[in-house]
C-alpha cells in the first residue's frame, strides 16, 4: 500500500459517505492531422461529469453510443487518464491518499466483449487468478476456483479450458469471476450483458443481483438497453454528448422523464402494450459531432423546445420542484433561465 496503510477494501466512511464521488470529470481526445501531425481538434468525450454513488447502490448509465458512457467507465478505473476532475473513493481522492493500484483493487470492471477481454492463450483459471496474484493475495488459484464455482462454472470442468472453448454466457461469467476475485467494492459493468442472447442475459442479470447482495457490492451499470437498466438499477444517469443531462431514481424517471432528450430516448423504446403507443416522435438524425459540440445546451440542435437561451447558455443540473432527488439540466425547469416556457417543464 503506497501512501498510507489504508486498505480501500475496508469501509472507512460509514454508510452515509458515498462510495464513489466524481467531480467535474473531463476527457478530451486529441485529433491529430495535417502536415506535422499537430492536434487539430479535440473530441470532447467526457465534459464536466459529476455524480455520486452510494454504498450498495446500483447506478445505471444510459445514452446513445458515443455519448461518453464507456469513456467514463475507463476513466473511473484509470484505464484512460483523465484531463481534469476528481475521483473520490470512500472519502479518499485518487492521486492523493489513494494510489491507482489501490483503486484498481477496489474497483473492477466487466467489459462488453466477453471474448476480447480474455487472453486467448491463457486458461480460464489463470485468467481469473491473475488479478489476485498481481495484488499479492493468498492462494490465488484457490480463490479463483471458489469464484468460478460461485458464478456457476464448475472449476473442475472449466479451470483448464481456453476462452474459445466456452460460450458467450460462460465467458461473461468468467469475466465476472475474475472481477470478484479481487474482492472489489465497486464493479463497473460496461455493457456487460449487451452482447448476450436474451435468455442468457436474464440469467447473468440474476447472477449479478445475487452477487451484489451476497458480497455487498456497489454497481455502476452501463447499458443502452433501458429495460435492463431499469431492472437492475436504483438510480439512472442519462448522458448526452459527454454531459450528464438527467439523474434520477428509477421510479421517478420511469414516471416522468424531465429532459427532452431523456423523453425521446424512452419513447424510442419498443412498447409491449398496444394501448401505450409512442406519442412523442423519436429523435431525428444523428447526434452532433463531439469534436465541435453545439454551444449552450448541447441538445438544442435536436430539441423541439429549444429557444435562443438554449443556444447561448449551458444549463446546470438542479433538482425538480416535485422531487429534489430528480435532477435535470434543462432551461425549461429553471424559472430564472429566460426560456419562454421557463419553470414549466415540458409542455403536455
Partner 1 sequence: MALSETPVEIAAEPAPVASPQGYWSGVGARLLRDPLTMICLGVVALLILSAVFAPWLGLADPYKGSMIARLKPIGTEGHILGTDEQGRDMLARLIYGGRLTLFIGLTPVVLAFFIGGALGVVAGYVGGFVNTIIMRTVDVFFAFPSVLLAIAISGALGAGIVNSLVSLTIVFIPPITRVAEAVTSGVRALDYIDAARATGANALTVIRVHVIGNVLSPIFVYATSLTSVCMILAAGLSFLGIGVRPPEPEWGLMLNTLRSAIYVNPWLSALPGVMIFITSLCLNLLSDGLRSAMNVRD
Partner 2 sequence: MLSYLIRRLILVLPVAFGVSVICFLLVQIAPGDPLTAIMPVDATADEQAAMRAAYGLDKPLPVQYAIWIGNLVQGDMGKSIATGRPVAAEVFGAVKNSLLLAVSAAVIAFPIGIFLGFLAGYFQGTWIDRAVTAVSIMGVSVPNYWLGIVLVIIFSVNLGWLPSMGAGPGGSSAWEWDWLHMRHLVLPAVTLAVVPIGIVSRTVRALAGDILTQDFVQALYAKGMSRVDVLRHVARNAAATALSVMGLQLGYLLGGSILIETVFNWPGSGFLLSNAIFQRDLPLLQGTILVLALFFVAMNLIVDVAQAAIDPRIQRT
Q: Which residues bind partner 2 (CB under 8 A)?
A: 34-36
Residue 38 beta carbon to partner 2: minimum distance, rounded to whole angstroms: 12
Nearer to partner 2, 35 or 284 (CB): 35
Nearer to partner 1, 79 or 84 (CB): 79
* Window 183-242: residues binding partner 1 (CB under 8 A): 196-200, 203
Measured from the CB of residue 167, what is the shortest distance to partner 1 in angstroms? 6
Which among 123, 98, 253 has a CA at the least distance from the CA of 186? 98
Q: Is 38 in the site for partner 1 (CB under 8 A)?
A: no
* CB of 197 or CB of 308, closer to partner 1: 197
Binding flag, residue 74, partner 1 (CB under 8 A): yes
**Mask for 140-179, x = binds partner 1 (CB under 8 A):** ------------xxx--x--xxx--x-xxxx----x--x-
- Taking CB under 8 A as the criterion, the residue among 11, 113, 141, 149 binding partner 1 is 113
Q: Residue by residue, what is the 3-state secondary structure of the chain?
A: CCCCCCCCCCCCCCCCCCCEEEEEEEEEEEEEECCCCEEEEEEEEEEEEEEEECCCCEEEEECCCCCCHHHHHHHHCCCCCCCEEEEEECCEEECCCECHHHHHHHEEEECCCCCCCCCCCCCHHHHHHHHHHHCCCCCHHHHHHHHHHHCCCCHHHHCCCCHHHCCHHHHHHHHHHHHHCCCCCEEEEECCCCCCCHHHHHHHHHHHHHHHHHHCCEEEEECCCHHHHHHHCCEEEEEECCEEEEEEEHHHHHHCCCCHHHHHHHHCCCCCCCCCCCCCCCCCCCCCCCCCCCCCCCCHHHCCCCCHHHHHCCCCCEECCCCCCCEECCHHHCCCCCCCCCCCCCCC
Name which of 16 and 35 has its Cβ closer to partner 2: 35
CB of 171 to partner 1, least distance (A): 11
Task: State which of residues 135, 209, 252, 323 lies at the interface with partner 1 (CB under 8 A).
Answer: 135
Q: Which does 203 bind (CB under 5 to 8 A by kind): partner 1, partner 2, none?
A: partner 1
How far is the C-alpha of 108 from the C-alpha of 218, rounded, in Å?
A: 11
Minimum Å gap between C-beta 320 and partner 1 is 36
Between residues 3 and 79, which has the closer beta carbon with respect to partner 1?
79
Minimum CB separation of residue 34 from partner 2 in Å reads 8
Residue closer to partner 2 (CB basis): 34 or 136: 34
Binding site for partner 1 (CB under 8 A): 74, 77, 79, 100-102, 104-105, 108-109, 111, 113, 116-123, 130-131, 134-135, 152-154, 157, 160-162, 165, 167-170, 175, 178, 182, 196-200, 203
Amino acid at each position: 500500500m503506497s501512501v498510507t496503510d489504508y486498505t480501500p477494501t475496508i469501509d472507512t466512511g460509514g454508510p452515509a459517505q458515498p462510495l464513489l464521488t466524481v467531480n467535474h470529470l473531463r476527457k478530451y481526445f486529441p485529433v491529430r492531422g495535417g502536415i506535422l501531425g499537430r492536434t487539430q481538434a479535440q473530441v470532447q468525450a467526457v465534459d464536466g461529469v459529476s455524480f455520486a454513488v452510494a454504498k450498495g447502490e446500483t447506478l445505471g448509465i444510459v445514452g446513445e453510443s458515443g455519448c461518453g458512457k464507456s469513456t467514463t467507465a475507463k476513466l473511473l478505473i484509470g484505464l484512460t487518464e483523465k484531463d481534469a476532475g476528481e475521483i473520490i473513493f470512500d472519502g479518499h481522492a485518487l492521486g492523493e491518499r489513494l494510489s491507482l493500484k489501490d483503486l484498481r483493487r477496489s474497483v473492477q470492471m466487466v467489459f462488453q466483449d466477453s471474448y476480447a477481454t480474455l487472453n486467448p492463450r491463457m486458461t480460464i483459471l489463470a485468467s481469473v487468478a491473475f488479478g489476485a496474484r498481481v495484488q499479492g493475495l493468498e492462494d490465488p488459484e484457490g480463490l479463483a476456483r471458489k469464484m468460478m464455482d460461485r458464478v456457476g462454472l464448475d472449476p473442475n470442468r472449466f479451470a483448464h479450458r481456453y476462452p474459445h472453448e466456452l460460450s458467450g454466457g460462460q465467458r461473461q461469467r468468467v469475466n465476472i469471476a475474475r472481477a470478484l476475485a479481487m474482492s472489489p467494492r465497486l464493479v463497473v459493468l460496461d455493457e456487460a450483458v449487451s452482447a448476450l442472447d436474451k435468455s442468457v442475459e436474464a440469467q447473468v442479470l440474476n447472477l449479478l443481483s445475487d452477487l451484489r447482495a451476497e458480497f455487498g457490492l456497489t454497481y455502476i451499470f452501463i447499458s443502452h438497453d433501458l429495460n435492463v437498466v431499469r431492472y437492475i438499477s436504483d438510480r439512472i444517469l442519462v448522458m448526452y454528448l459527454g454531459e450528464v443531462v438527467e439523474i434520477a431514481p428509477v421510479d421517478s424517471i420511469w414516471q416522468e422523464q424531465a429532459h427532452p432528450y431523456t423523453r425521446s430516448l424512452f419513447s424510442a423504446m419498443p412498447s409491449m402494450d398496444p394501448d401505450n403507443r409512442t406519442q412523442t416522435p423519436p429523435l431525428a438524425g444523428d447526434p452532433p459531432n463531439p469534436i465541435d459540440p453545439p454551444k449552450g445546451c448541447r441538445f438544442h440542435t435536436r430539441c423541439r423546445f429549444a429557444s435562443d437561451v438554449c443556444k447561448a447558455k449551458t444549463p446546470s443540473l438542479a433538482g425538480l420542484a416535485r422531487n429534489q432527488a430528480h435532477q435535470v439540466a434543462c432551461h425549461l425547469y429553471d424559472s430564472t433561465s429566460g426560456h419562454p416556457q421557463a419553470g414549466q417543464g415540458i409542455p403536455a
